[in-house]
Amino acid sequence: LEAWAASTAVVSTRLGAEGLAGRDGEHLLLADSSGDFAAAVSRLLDSAGQRTRVASAGRRLYEEEYTWEAGWEKLTELEI
């Protein structure tokens, strides 16, 4: 969440991203083996466009789902 808040592209394992709303290839890159993880990081380092796209999508998701404002909005929409 901190990386998304800082508009930084994220590579994570599936376990590390468990419970988050991010989609692989859109908001973050998922890689479970060391080789896949290194390849995902290398892809982001080699492609400024992909790095920017993933970082921007992660930031948007953070703003929509994980800020205090987003949480409050969801709470006020609940019908009790």
3-state SS, one letter per residue, for 21-74: CCCECCCEEECCCHHHHHHHHHHHHHCHHHHHHHHHHHHHHHHHHCCHHHHHHH
| Residues 49-64, mean pLDDT to the nearest whole number | 97
Residue with tokens 């419970």: 19
Looking at the predicted structure, is the pLDDT value of residue 49 above 90?
A: yes
Q: Are strands 11-12 and 29-30 parallel, antiparallel or unpaired?
A: parallel
Global confidence as pTM:
0.88
pLDDT for res 32: 98
The tens digit of pLDDT for each residue in 1-48 reads 999 999 999 999 999 999 999 999 999 999 999 999 999 999 999 999
